[in-house]
A = this chain, B = another copy of it.
Amino acid sequence: MKDTFVGLGDMLISFSPPGYRRFLQADTMDVSYTGAEANVCFSLAMLGAKTRFVTRLPDNDIARCAVNKMKGFGIDTSAIAYGGDRMGVIYTEKGAAQRPSKVIYDRGGTSFARIKETDLDWDAVFADAAWFHFTGITAALSGNTRRLCLRACREAKARNITVSCDLNYRKKLWSEQTARQVMSQLMQYVDVVIGNEEDAERVLGIKAANSDVISGKLSNSDYEHTAGEIMGQFGVKKVAFTMRRSLSASDNEWSAMFFDQGKVCYSRTYTIHIVNRVGGGDAFSAGLIYSLMNGFEQQKAVEFAAAASCLKHSIELDVNLSTVNEVMTLVNGDGSGRVQR
């Protein structure tokens, strides 16, 4: 049965100072494992979906810790390739108030950045697959991973698998120019494009009229225009945007827009006092993919995805540990945070 979600991307070890400590104040760090596509996998597994995560990892104990975590969520890790020298490392300092979160990447020369197309058994990668998801980060890492994305998209389409892509622009990984060139080529295989206010402009070169990326004050018509352009230029059928308004690192407004074949739906807007915003976009992708894999109608899909990612902001580390019940409670209007006892 074709019922499995497949995520393909990097898996990093993530170190972060406890609480709101800055790097300079940290003699211990919290350890977790992260990666845009991996986080989507974790989220979907929490929601009860069948999931597979594919990457390339070195053959050492740190990588084993990461794989064990995934297995613990019931994610199929059997298609992971082993080899190379190192996992990527990411250092995250959590922001608060007017101080933004800070991220230090150490992801050069990793086992994944050096992956070759032939390292993977593509039949194993896509066995029983109904959905394939990747992000712009994977395309950004290296020439090898760019080729990998292309190959994966082709393998997926050849198997009639739905393909989604979170644009996920990271300016520390590549220039806008390279991003545009690479991503434009990949778009032809993509059925569902996911992004935020920055991505469309920086990755696809589609600029909204009155954008103010820093404050996130875009009008709905800006978003609709941008989505229309994406669909027109690349033949994409579905486009979803998260819309963040950053009041500060501690307080955000958060909502989403979902464009499906000419029709647009908006989710409710959440005012969120943030515990940790990292992974909010991945949680949205997971929520949307879950909705579409389960045939939710368009409005319910965008509400489910927005609520899932809203809840992520209340959760430490990068993964959305919310269940379908928890998301649906919020979709149905209870954001009161009352104790259940």
Binding site for B on A (CB under 8 A): 15, 18-32, 60-62, 64-65, 68-74, 85-87, 89, 91, 93, 95-106, 108-109, 170-172, 214-216, 246-251, 270-278, 307, 310-311, 313-317, 321-322, 326, 330, 333-341
Contacts A25-B316, A89-B89, A336-B214 given: A310-B98 contact, CB under 8 Å? yes
Contacts A20-B315, A311-B98 given: A277-B106 contact, CB under 8 Å? no
Task: Report the minimum CB–CB distance from A268 to chain B (whole Å).
Answer: 11
Contacts A108-B86, A341-B103 given: A215-B336 contact, CB under 8 Å? yes
CA distance A109 to B89 in the complex (A): 13
Residues of B within 8 A of A23 (CB): 61-62, 64-65
Given contacts A21-B316, A86-B106, A108-B109, 12 further A-B contacts (CB under 8 A): A22-B321, A25-B317, A27-B27, A69-B72, A96-B314, A100-B338, A100-B339, A215-B336, A216-B336, A248-B273, A249-B338, A251-B273
Q: Once the chains bind, are A108 and B96 in contact (CB under 8 Å)?
A: no
Q: Once the chains bind, are B316 and A101 in contact (CB under 8 Å)?
A: no
**6 shortest interchain CB distances as A-B pairs:** A249-B337, A72-B72, A246-B336, A99-B314, A97-B314, A68-B72
Residues of B within 8 A of A277 (CB): 339
What does DSSP make chain A's interface, helix, strand, loop or mixed?
A: loop
CA distance A57 to B64 in the complex (A): 27
Task: Report the minimum CB–CB distance from A168 to chain B (whole Å).
Answer: 10
Residue from B71, B250, B322 in contact with A71 in the complex, judged by beta carbons closer than 8 Å: B71
Contacts A89-B106, A100-B336, A246-B338 given: A27-B31 contact, CB under 8 Å? yes
Contacts A26-B31, A250-B337 given: A313-B97 contact, CB under 8 Å? yes
Residues of B within 8 A of A103 (CB): 339-341
Contacts A29-B31, A64-B24 given: A99-B337 contact, CB under 8 Å? yes
Task: Report the minimum CB–CB distance from A245 to chain B (whole Å).
Answer: 9
Task: Report the minimum CB–CB distance from A267 to chain B (whole Å).
Answer: 13
Task: Report the minimum CB–CB distance from A49 to chain B (whole Å).
Answer: 15
Instruction: Pull 18 A–B residue pairs with CB atoms less than 8 Å apart, ordered by A.
Output: A15-B29, A15-B31, A21-B316, A24-B321, A27-B27, A28-B28, A60-B104, A61-B102, A69-B72, A71-B72, A86-B106, A97-B337, A99-B314, A99-B322, A100-B340, A103-B339, A171-B341, A246-B337
Q: Once the chains bind, are A24 and B273 in contact (CB under 8 Å)?
A: no
Task: Report the minimum CB–CB distance from A195 to chain B (whole Å).
Answer: 15
Residues of B within 8 A of A31 (CB): 15, 26-29
Q: Once the chains bind, are A97 and B61 in contact (CB under 8 Å)?
A: no
Task: Report the minimum CB–CB distance from A270 to chain B (whole Å).
Answer: 7
Residue of B with least CB distance to A311: B99
Residue from B20, B91, B250, B315 in contact with A99 in the complex, judged by beta carbons closer than 8 Å: B315
Task: Report the minimum CB–CB distance from A326 to chain B (whole Å).
Answer: 7
Q: Once the chains bind, are A249 and B73 in contact (CB under 8 Å)?
A: no
Residue of B with least CB distance to A73: B68
Residues of B within 8 A of A71 (CB): 71-74
Contacts A31-B28, A104-B60 given: A97-B272 contact, CB under 8 Å? yes
Q: Once the chains bind, are A314 and B20 in contact (CB under 8 Å)?
A: yes
Residues of B within 8 A of A24 (CB): 61, 64-65, 68, 321
